[in-house]
Amino acid sequence: MVGSRLTTHYGLEIARKLAYQLAYIGVTVVSGGARGIDTAAHQGALSAKGRTIAVLGTGINLVFPPENADLFERIAANGAVLSQFPFNRNADKQTFPIRNRIVAGMTLGTVVVEANLTSGALITANMAVEAGRQVFAVPGRIDSPRSKGCHELIKKGAKLCEGAEDILSEFEYLFPSTNRPPGASETGVLPALNLSENEQKVYDALSNEESNIDEIIRHSGLPSSAVSVALLGLEMKRLIRQLPGKMFLRNA
């Protein structure tokens, strides 16, 4: 899962949601550990307690971007952090395209969430095509420069991706029905939901009345980034729902 470093709120939310949905059912989410879409993809997979892999464009002993140090530690504990570069190799304009080849080659499909026409994510998509991999592109606003690259990919034949089901439908052979756990409709028993510590705090901060995100941050005592990830997890578990205007409330 790849995309722009300079992204929109829409792009970040979609990347987290797609990565969460895929990781939740056992798909390994691979990205480049960069700012923007890469970071959101790793966060979404981790919030689902799934496996994610970061392929770095630097030596393995360097942390770039520096604010992702904690994220890389979490990724290493729930997947892997990889690099083909020697120790102390700094990032430059050459290392990232080289890294993109690994991201495209080690996966069955590449999902481009948000990218302008000059984004390195398009390099990854082109390498995926050359390697015979499936390419998916998430559409965006027609007047947003951040979505121009995705729209161009769709015009050229990439599969339009509106949700995880669009990705999974291409790989049904990996998820045969015999390997799937019986659902609630078959057992008559709903699975127990396990909430993380942050999800529990955010859920406790909500009620049946609408709350905006600033109120949730204040009542939960968590930073905004942690609240965003927890809200996404609670939405995926259908415990809360989001209303227009970034308002949230518990499901009845």
pLDDT class for 243, splitting at 50, 70, 90? Answer: confident
Residues 53-69 pLDDT 10s: 999 999 999 999 999 99
- Pair 113, 15: CB distance under 8 Å: yes
pLDDT of residue 184: 45
Q: Report, as an integer, the average pLDDT of 10-27.
A: 92
Q: Report, as an integer, the average pLDDT of 6-16.
A: 93
pLDDT of residue 159: 95
pLDDT of residue 244: 79
Stronger pLDDT, 118 or 178, i.e. the higher one: 118
Domains of the chain in start order, with CATH, are 9-173 (3.40.50.450), 197-250 (1.10.10.10)
pLDDT of residue 145: 93
pLDDT of residue 185: 47
pLDDT of residue 242: 84
pLDDT class for 146, splitting at 50, 70, 90? Answer: very high
> Residue 190: is its pLDDT beyond 50?
no
Q: Give me the residue label for tokens 């080659």.
A: 105
| Contact residues for 190 (Cβ-Cβ < 8 A; gap 6+) | 184
pLDDT class for 182, splitting at 50, 70, 90? Answer: low
Residues 70-114 pLDDT 10s: 999 999 999 999 999 999 999 998 999 899 999 999 999 999 999
pLDDT of residue 195: 83
- Pair 103, 2: CB distance under 8 Å: yes
Q: What percent of the chain has pLDDT over 90?
A: 66
Average pLDDT, the chain: 89
pLDDT class for 193, splitting at 50, 70, 90? Answer: low
